[in-house]
A and B are shown apart, each in its own frame.
Chain A
């Protein structure tokens, strides 16, 4: 099975090389979609393999796939297929510099895959930094001069945040000195957690989580996120909001597993509850007065990352399984929503909420899925996000985070009201004049309907995922 792991790393890399070699050809835009499909299929194969016969290790231990990594690879693949296939332009020839764009997208997929496959935390760090590097020009390639401002803030804040995480990793290596040979191998650190130097581990864990929280878009380190996610082209926003945040959060989960085993859950619980509530608070404060619908979606991502942080803080098998499933549910919906937002801005020529109204009448092909997707983001049943949000909140209540979850519920209500009001203003009402009523071709609608349907079905038919989710929870130290 080690061969499959190398295929997963090599496929997006080869896709990047292919796109770059034929960079003048507009068909290269389809290549990253194929790479994403390989990740989805390979992730699924890895899930089957790992759940039946345990973790796979290769490259003398630097790469290790357990149920959690396999699950995350499949999530990245699924969300990337939706974001990239849905984000293809109406006519492929519309894209400027298609090959370079496609090559960067494939490299971005490679970097995320490496972060998920690595066992060595320092390699995870290198891969997370590579995600910033590969997306920098993708963000800057958005229209207008504002995308340059967004890219500058994104790269400088991302790089500084991740640099702080590196300090945490170095201290973690120092904390492992009692083991004899200092190590940053995740599985070794977890196995020998009780022997780690407790003071150093605390400082290291706090710094690493603080640093990676910048990439995960958790408040108060979120200030780059609304800019970058609103200015990037649609497929890039979809990928960044849909999975990159979750990949950064995955690293936080790994670090949390080590610190929980070494110094107890108190430290991470405090940090994650604070970040989670702040993220919900920031979103609640800003969605009501928001005037730009792409920024609205970006803030909604901060809200969902806050929910993940609360789930991770609660801990236990219910909350962690819900967190992992929520990553998939939120990723699929957010990718489709950014794709739709991109199409809406092409039709209306504006990102302003006030300029868009009557979508259901004038463009039902956009308005219908946009309204359904909003319902999914807000956690309406039957979407899977409803079940995962309820599970996270119940887990919090039963595990001693009662007032924190109560506060979270109030903030979620405010977010709910804010986003619902804005989305209804865009979709309801009379059709504006001058908007062409031609419908999308079926292949452009397909990814969005697949994502929405999968979301609606997942809540009721998640049982095939039970094995992988419970093993992923166990890999993180189980239901403590």
Chain B
């Protein structure tokens, strides 16, 4: 693959990753946020494919396929199903001002660039230059978990965080062995399935899925 195309493909896929995460913080529609999650998963698969093909590793094809199926198809479908069973389509009114949410997101992205410097070394290749985007996704996932009240958005936040961790780990380590990747994907899938079931039960028992109202257990 020519170097120029390689660089452009990496820039595109990481750009889509960051853009989708910012849009998830901006928007309030749950269905759109889940759709963005599917796009994010596809961008991650694209990144894996680009880096893998450039390095001439055939295993990357399988890993990219796995990422595409799990993160871009299965997980969003599971989330959509949970959201539909509950009948929630929009996020609850914010705990904090929407402008503060976005300024926080921008600050976290800057922080991600600041901390990835030491890890990238003096002369990073194009792939490593994308590292800050991975860290941004991790921080933005945390941010979603913190600022939102709906349990569904909490789940989305967890998945954004997980996408960020997958991005960083792929960029720095060039991917783990396929068996491990399989185990990791299966684990994430199971966690999301379980949380999906718990959300539905929460709705049944408590009549709402507002996680700020889960405060009966305390000291």
Contacts and interface: CB of A to CB of B under 8 A. Distances in A.
Interface in B168-219: 168-170, 172-174, 176-177, 180, 183-184, 186-187, 190-191, 194-195, 198-199, 201-202, 205-206, 211, 214, 216-217, 219
Interface in B144-187: 145, 151, 154, 158, 161-162, 165, 168-170, 172-174, 176-177, 180, 183-184, 186-187
Interface in A224-274: 226-227, 230-231
A123 B183 CA distance: 8
A330 B187 CA distance: 30
Given A136-B198, A167-B165, A171-B172, A149 B180 contact: no
A152 B214 contact: yes
Interface string A133-159: 100110010000110111111011001
B169 A136 contact: no
A303 interface: no
A174 interface: yes
Contact of A286 (B173, B180, B219): B219
A99 B42 CA distance: 40
Contacts of B174: 174, 182
A184 B158 contact: no
A155 B198 contact: yes
A150 B138 CA distance: 25
Contacts of A150: 217
The DSSP consensus for interface residues of chain A is helix
A203 B119 CA distance: 9
A126 B183 contact: yes
A151 B198 contact: yes
Contacts of B191: 129, 132-133, 155, 159
Nearest to B177: A122
B118 interface: yes
A126 B187 contact: yes
A148 B205 contact: yes
A230 B217 CA distance: 10
A184 B176 contact: yes
The DSSP consensus for interface residues of chain B is helix
A295 B219 contact: yes
A145 B169 CA distance: 38
Interface of B: 118-119, 138, 142, 145, 151, 154, 158, 161-162, 165, 168-170, 172-174, 176-177, 180, 183-184, 186-187, 190-191, 194-195, 198-199, 201-202, 205-206, 211, 214, 216-217, 219
28 contacts: A122-B176, A125-B184, A126-B180, A126-B187, A129-B187, A130-B190, A132-B191, A136-B198, A146-B216, A148-B202, A148-B205, A148-B206, A149-B202, A149-B216, A150-B217, A151-B198, A152-B211, A153-B217, A155-B194, A156-B158, A160-B145, A166-B165, A170-B170, A174-B172, A182-B173, A182-B174, A200-B172, A286-B219
Please give me the 7 A-B residue pairs with the lowest Cβ-Cβ distance, nearest first: A170-B169, A126-B183, A174-B172, A173-B173, A129-B187, A122-B180, A174-B173
Interface of A: 120, 122-123, 125-126, 129-130, 132-133, 136-137, 140, 145-146, 148-153, 155-156, 159-160, 163-164, 166-167, 169-171, 173-174, 182, 184, 199-200, 203, 226-227, 230-231, 286, 289-290, 295
Given A126-B180, A163-B161, A174-B174, 17 more contacts: A120-B180, A122-B183, A145-B205, A148-B198, A148-B206, A149-B216, A151-B198, A152-B211, A153-B217, A156-B145, A156-B195, A167-B138, A167-B168, A170-B172, A174-B172, A200-B119, A226-B217
